[in-house]
Amino acid sequence: MAKFDVYDLEKKKVGEIDLADAVFAGEVNEHLFYEVVKAKLASDRSGTHAVKNRSLVSGGGKKPWKQKHTGRARQGSTRASQWVGGGKAMGPKPRDYAYDVPRKVRKAALRAALALRGKDQRLLIVDRWQPEAPRTAAAARVLAALGATRALVVDEAANVALARSVRNLDGADFLAVEGLNVYDILKHEALILTAATARKLEEALS
């Protein structure tokens, strides 16, 4: 079992927590990061790019001149791609770039990302962080005290006050534990979990 310190919101040690090595102290496989992040970024692409081809450009129904005996190249329509105002030949069409990565690979990549943050000593576990009301300034003070101003904060989705407190901070974000992913972990310099969230991840990824 890997042992981690548990802090309060002023970064005073209030205890320790034992977490599974396989989840928080396993092998850091960077190739898994590449596969999962590439799939995530591909899924984010809108894929709405499109141009009008010859059949979509209006007009051009009449043959510009007769087929033979004009001394000019034969033409069937002024909306062919070689004409100004004509349709684009072989242009891009709307498509879906998304593809799935196997569930086992996603889980292994998430374990590796957690292990990386633990290895770099940029994984902080707080005992509890549940503000009574959204206060961005208060959240900024807590992150400064923890020494992690550019951090990803992870807790239960029901902790709406914390989510609203963190979301307006430059460089910091909040994610519900169910939505934790490799891309957001790597995007931020530090990862902050509550003790309850750490236990939930341990259970889900073991």
Dump pLDDT digits (tens) for 89-108: 999 999 999 999 999 999 99
pLDDT level of residue 206 (50, 70, 90 thresholds): confident
> Which alpha helices (DSSP H) does 45-159 contain, by range?
103-119, 136-146
At 152-178, the pLDDT tens digits run 999 999 999 999 999 999 999 999 999
Give yes or no: residues 70 and 124 share one domain. no
Return d(Cα 115, Cα 29) in angstroms, integer: 10
pLDDT level of residue 2 (50, 70, 90 thresholds): confident
Return d(Cα 126, Cα 16) in angstroms, integer: 10
- At position 103, the amino acid (one-letter code) is R
Residue entry with tokens 């899924």: 43
Say what percent of the chain tops pLDDT 70.
Answer: 100
Tokens of 77: 């329509």
Give yes or no: residues 57 and 131 share one domain. no
At 55-79, the pLDDT tens digits run 999 998 899 999 999 999 999 999 9
Return d(Cα 147, Cα 141) in angstroms, integer: 10
Q: Do 125 and 144 form a contact (C-beta atoms < 8 A)? A: no
- At position 176, the amino acid (one-letter code) is A
Q: Do 185 and 114 form a contact (C-beta atoms < 8 A)? A: yes
Residue 167's domain comprises 2-46+98-205
Question: Residue 33: helix, strand or coil by DSSP?
Answer: helix
Which of 34, 60, 91 is the C-terminal boundary of a domain?
91
Return d(Cα 178, Cα 165) in angstroms, integer: 19
Give yes or no: residues 158 and 128 share one domain. yes
Give yes or no: residues 121 and 164 share one domain. yes
How many Cβ atoms sit within 10 Å of the Cβ of residue 128?
13
Average pLDDT, the chain: 95
Question: Which DSSP category does 69 fall into?
Answer: S
Considering its fold, how many domains does the chain have in total? 2
pLDDT (0 to 100) of residue 52: 95
